[in-house]
A and B are shown apart, each in its own frame.
Chain A
Amino acid sequence: MSDQQPDIDTLPEDEQPPILGSWRALYVLVIVLHFVLIGLFYWFTRTYA
């Protein structure tokens, strides 16, 4: 195993995202938006089937 292997735990955190103040919040937003979209798709499927 090489010395070049990065330790994920010690990787430097990048600057903050432009919105929401933290990357964690932005990731949660993306996932929540995705599940809301799937919910809308499900409603669409049920309503017009």
Chain B
Amino acid sequence: MHWLDWLVMLSTLGAIVLYGVYHTRNVKSVQSYLLGDRDLRWWTIGLSVMATQASAITFLSTPGQAFEDGMRFAQFYFGLPIAMVFLCIFVLPIYYKLKVYTAYEYLEGRFDLRTRTLTAILFLVQRGLAAGITIYAPAIILSTLLDWRLSWTVLAIGVIVIFYTVMGGTKAVSVTQKQQMIIILTGMFVAAIILLDQLPEGVGFTDAVGIAGKMGKLNVVDFSFDMSNRYTFWSGMLGGVFLFLSYFGTDQSQVQRYLSGKSLTESRLGLLFNGIVKVPMQFLVLFVGILVFVFFLFVKAPIHFNTANLEIVKENPTTAAQLAELETTYDALFDERQAAVGDMMNALDSEDEVAIASTSDRMNSLQEQDAAIREEVRELINVASNDTAKTKDTDYVFITFVIRYLPAGLVGLLLAVIFSAAMSSTSSELNALATTTVIDIYKRSIVKDKDDDHYLSASKWFTILWGCLALVFALYADLFENLIQAVNMIGSLVYGAILGIFMVAFFQKRVGGLAVFLAAIVAEAAVITIFYLDRIGTIEVAYLWLNLIGCGLVMVLAEIFQAMGIGKRPEPKAS
């Protein structure tokens, strides 16, 4: 990597960390440490909420997703603004009135200690494992393409995050996230500008959009109602609303961000800011992926974006020979595509509908051939690695463009974007894990009567503990590929039930603790069954719908169980 890139990356990251540590040097009480003195303004809250959700893999994976599948992933976020408004109306006032440190604290007052502890533990398990993946996922990609050692990359991300999160607590997380989010948005915007600039002479923005559109990549909105289609307007608006209600309303890593607001007004404005900005931001990130797709129509893309996989294929003489043959075919195909894309541009310029239709068909046919060759390469990788290599390479698409085609200095800026995103989401997770451990478990059920200094110290030690666990998980995650997939799935399996518990708490006032507890267990079993039936192909239900199903089942079953008398205390006998 060029020295200028090192300079830009290290100075950007270093400045953010120093800023965070300097601004939180006076944190001396547990309230300051866990709630940041409740003095944050709406723009800090809004950017902090966005930075918590946007992990590094968001910026690595999302452009790659657009490159392969078009822009339909934008619909995943369609429910978010509605969820933000719902939370502002119904949930924030309750949290503010009770002055809670965690979302789960509220559940004890509403139901019982058992429900609070269960929900807190569910959060700790799911988020504790996820924190390791938040570090591991970008580290494996960066270390592969930049030839860095994975362990050093993991440690570089993890140790810095643990350092400033332990030093300054929740305020350090929020103020660094504000800077990190500014770097992220600037970096992605610059990437889009540079991509347009890197297109061949005579190919402008309108041409790029026209070509991508005719190749079916600008499929932002799909109104078809199909439960098996993962991303449609309806899955985003219905399933997505429930997912985001659960994530932003009950996941402590998000709740803690807006609980540190100066007032209810500031927190509401922060969430509404997220509601307005998030969808356009995702559109921008996806559109960067579309521009990368168009760029690689004019510049030959690698036959497979994960270079480590290609090395495995080349080590085996048989697969190496087959790869060489495929590369020859791929080169010829690229020449043919270049000619075809030139014809398509001429057709678009002349607005000749017949020519546009025929060149579109030709381009789409060539695109299918390109996909077929890439699939054959994946099969070679499977053969050469005995099915141990991960053949999906879309996460490597954007970073390949960044490393190979951006000028010196900007590579460093984009790497700072990736590191910033990894650090911002990890710091929120560690902060939330420590807070939940101290407030909902340690202080509530284990060590109850110590002074403020004790709990402040405990909060710091639990941050270190969770940080070290995340680091260990990240360092050894490549040994447990199946575990990673399982962790990624846990979120979509439990969020619906957790949201259901909170919805019952907010709106079904006559339902008691035992009824909702049993309802959550039955609903969770049903969600896991549906998920399993989908996996084995018996039914087809896209995972976003699981949030709606889980939440709805808890609400309905809790009402039924309560009506059946479950959980009601026996009436005292008349003497």
The tally of CB-CB contacts under 8 A between chains A and B is 95
Which residue on B lies nearest to A11, using beta carbons? B93
Known: A11-B94, A30-B85. A5 touches B210 (CB 8 A): no
Which residues of B186-227 are within 8 A (CB) of A? 209-210, 212-214, 216, 218-221, 223
Complex CA gap A17/B78 in Å reads 24
B216 touches A31 (CB 8 A): no
- Known A-B contacts A6-B98, A27-B85, A38-B221; the reply to A17 vs B269 at CB < 8 A is yes
B contacts with A: majority SS = helix
Chain B nearest CB: distance from A6 CB in Å?
A: 5
A6 touches B275 (CB 8 A): no
Docked Cα-Cα span, A44 to B233, in Å, equals 15
* Separation of A42 and B268 alpha carbons in the complex (Å): 29
Question: Interface readout for A1-33 with B: 1 if CB under 8 Å, 0 if not?
Answer: 110111010011011011000010011001101
Question: Is A48 a contact partner of B81 (Cβ separation < 8 A)?
Answer: no
Segment of B174-182, B276-284, B314-322 in the binding face = B276-284
Main secondary structure of the interface of A (DSSP, over half): helix
User: A42 vs B110: C-alpha distance in the bound complex, in angstroms?
Assistant: 43
Please determine whether B84 and A8 come into contact, CB atoms closer than 8 angstroms: no
Instruction: Let me know if B82 and A34 touch, CB within 8 A.
Output: yes
CB pair B219 A4 closer than 8 Å = no
Q: Chain A contacts of B97 at CB under 8 A?
A: 6, 11-12
**Residues in chain B near residue A49, CB distance under 8 A:** 213-214, 216, 218-219
Chain A hits for B219, CB < 8 A: 45, 49
Q: Which residue of the partner chain B has the closest CB to A34?
A: B81
B109 at the interface (CB under 8 A from A): yes
User: What B residues does A37 contact at CB under 8 A?
Assistant: 279-280
**Given the complex of chains A and B, what is the CA–CA distance between A5 and B90 in angstroms?**
14
B244-287 contacts to A, CB under 8 A, are 263-265, 268-269, 272, 275-276, 279-280, 283
A45–B219 Cα gap in the complex (Å)? 5
- Give the complex CA separation of A6 and B92 in angstroms: 12
Q: How far is the CA of A44 from the CA of B512 in the complex (A)?
A: 49
A sample of 11 cross-chain residue pairs with beta-carbon separation below 8 angstroms, ordered by A number, consists of: A5-B110, A5-B509, A6-B98, A12-B93, A12-B97, A15-B263, A17-B265, A27-B85, A30-B84, A41-B74, A48-B209
User: What 4 pairs between A and B have smallest CB-CB spacing?
Assistant: A48-B213, A4-B109, A14-B264, A41-B220
